[in-house]
Structure 1
Amino acid sequence: MKLISWNVNGLRAVVKKDFAETFNQLDADIFSIQETKLQEGQIDLDLPGYHQYFFYAKKKGYSGTAIFTKQKPLNVTQGLGIDEFDDEGRTITLEFPDFYLINSYTPNSQPKLKRVDYRMRYDDTMRAYMLKLSADKPAILCGDLNVAHEEIDLKNPKTNHKNPGFSDQERDKFSELLDSGFIDSFRSLHPDEIKYSWWSYRFNARKNNAGWRIDYFVVSKNGKDLIKNADILNDIYGSDHCPIELDLNIKGE
């Protein structure tokens, strides 16, 4: 079973580019996207063979998540049950027979870390949610988690220390998540590989590959045997992020 996650930085914008071609080429069993930046009724996607599930932010043109899946889920849950997060449409969960899939657009801490307290509350809530789900069956978190965990995960760690996405607080929270019983699938399979999933639009960052790895598939340890392969598809354009992939030892339906 192939899972794809992609922060599209505006679904309507990427649809005007090569989204349909990329979507069909990847042929994922489950395709999760973040930062849809739209409201209900603002787009009509023709994705034959896929069930579509959206969670919109109350604020127009902001945040938002969606999942497109060939296999109809057992259950769909929008949000985390807390208004300050759910009003921004940041989380959608699909339950399948063998696992839960949580699609998250984790809050950015903003310049000077002015939103880091909000971000810390989100991380704590998400960790508790994942622990609860994984007590039942494997839980998989995917999405733009807005943190480069280690120095290998960004081009310029020294100059970015204490900046949003590479602050000690955010990195420590990600360590806390992993220590509580979860696996960074890409890093577990590729411990020394340098590959990025996001590049600033400034300073020719993508051309120079001055990027960050901030998009993840995180898998609970009771789902370790499900992990077949993980990759970062950095040859695919259309957004300031590229898609990431997780292949599972489950036959797609």
Structure 2
Amino acid sequence: MKLVSWNVDSLNAALTSASPRAQLSRHVFATLSELAPDVLAIQETKLSVKGPTKKHLEVLDGYFPGYKVAWVSSDEPARKGYAGTMFLYRPELEPVVTYPRLDAPTTMDFEGRMITLEFEDCYITQVYTPNASEGLRRLEDRQVWDRLYADYLATLDASKPVLATGDFNVAHTEIDLANPKSNRRSPGFTDEEREGFTHLLSRGFTDTFRHLHGDVTGAYTWWAQRSKTSKINNTGWRIDYWLVSDRVADKVTKSETVDSGPRQDHTPILLEIEL
């Protein structure tokens, strides 16, 4: 099974804009099309509450012919056109699709952050984890989210193996970002967020990239757009993950990034597993 996850940072812009950045995004979609994944998880779609338009679906079908689509968008009382997630999956697959809510703080449950696909032999679930935000104003709520999310995955895992992916908005260890010392209290690298991720793994899950590649450094999934040289200089962060239930970790044959060329922000991540 071949699976890909990508934080697209606005699906509408990627699919319909004429900007240079949108052209780079479409080049990434072309690359993913060539990979022909069984399942593609997309975060930060930023779509309206009505979801993808006819135009969006036509363009996606050009890259992934016949794939089925499951989506959820941010809705009131949350901010509209914010967050949002989507799955595309091969037409022959027939998962049960759910849109979990965690009883999380503030509007987090209404921001379109999670979708789960249930198959006969596993769950595939994606998340766009809330950012602690500027000034760490959302850090306490983020800590609650992390505990609830770990409980959710553990509940799934009690039934069948779990493959969990997405933008987790945390660099787990110092080797997961280029400049750990200067980012010690930055959103995504606080002790609290890192401990939350450690707790998640302790509930029975494996970081597949580290499982296969050990302590390799310089392997990042995100480079800040506001710095024009962040990707050129590889001053990035690894904040996107494929996690799997511990008991199927040895069935993972590949876990790596997908080359997104000069496009900054997130790059897609690939998982291959033999279930």
Short-chain TM bin:
over 0.9
Unaligned 5+ runs, structure 2? 16-21
Most deviating of 189-198 and 14-23: 14-23
Structure with more helix by fraction: 2
In the TM superposition, 1:86-97 aligns within 5 A as 86-97=109-120
Determine the structure 1 residue equivalent to 2:246: 221
What's 1:134 paired with? 157
Corresponding residue for residue 28 of structure 1: 37
Distance in 2, Cα, partners of 1:120 & 1:239: 28
2:106 pairs with 1:74: no
2:155 is equivalent to residue 101 of structure 1: no
Distance, in Å, in 2 between the alignment partners of 1:249 and 1:37 is: 33
What SS class does the counterpart of residue 212 from structure 1 fall into? coil
| Structure-2-length-normalised TM-score | 0.86
How far did residue 73 of structure 1 move? 3.4
Q: Does 1:243 align with 2:260?
A: no
For the 8 Å contact 1:233–1:244, the answer to whether it is kept is yes
What are the residue-to-residue correspondences of 1:146-225 with 2, within 5 Å? 146-194=169-217, 195-203=219-227, 204-225=229-250
Q: Could you tell me which amino acid in structure 2 is paired with residue 75 of structure 1?
A: V
Is the 2:73–2:81 contact (alpha carbons within 8 Å) kept by the matching residues of 1? no
CA apart distance, 1:79: 2.5
Compare 124-133 and 76-85 and name the one that shifted more: 76-85
Match of 2:5 in 1: 5
Superimposed CA distance per residue, residues 175-197 of structure 1 (whole angstroms, 9 cap, x where no aligned partner): 11111211000011111222000
CA positional deviation for 1:168? 0.2
For residues 113-138 of structure 1, the C-alpha deviation after alignment (integer angstroms, 9 at most, x for no partner) is 11011211111111001000001110
Alpha-carbon distance, 1:101 to partner? 0.8
CA shift for structure 1 position 207: 1.3
TM-score by length of 1: 0.93
Count of residues in Structure 1 that have an aligned counterpart in Structure 2: 250
Structure 2: how far apart are the matches of 1:201 and 1:52? 29
Cα distance, 1:241–1:214 mapped onto 2, change above 3 Å: same
Deviations 1:200-233 (A, max 9, x none): 0123211111000000001111222331210012
Give the C-alpha shift of residue 41 in structure 1: 4.3
Residue type of the partner of 1:202? Answer: R
Q: Is contact 2:260–2:268 with CA below 8 Å preserved after alignment?
A: no
Equivalent pair of 1:130/1:139 in contact (CA under 8 Å): yes
The offset of 1:236, in angstroms, is: 4.1
Mean Cα displacement is larger for which, 77-86 or 149-158? 77-86
- Which residue identity does 1:14 align to in structure 2? A
Letter of the 1:246 counterpart: L
1:225/1:191 CA distance change after superposition, 3 Å: closer
The CA deviation at 1:235 is: 4.0
Are the aligned partners of 1:227 and 1:247 in contact in 2 as well (CA < 8 Å)?
Answer: yes
- Letter of the 1:61 counterpart: G
Identical counterparts, % of pairs: 42
CA contact (8 A) 1:225 1:249 kept: no
Is 1:123 the counterpart of 2:146 in the alignment?
A: yes
Of structures 1 and 2, the one with the larger relative CO (CA 8 A, separation 6+) is 1
What is the Cα deviation at residue 240 of structure 1? 0.9
Q: Deviations over 1:92-129 (max 9, x none)?
A: 00011221011100000012211011211111111001
User: Is the counterpart of residue 54 in structure 1 residue 93 in structure 2?
Assistant: no
Higher mean alpha-carbon deviation, 216-225 vs 234-243, is at 234-243
Cα RMSD for the two superposed structures: 1.6
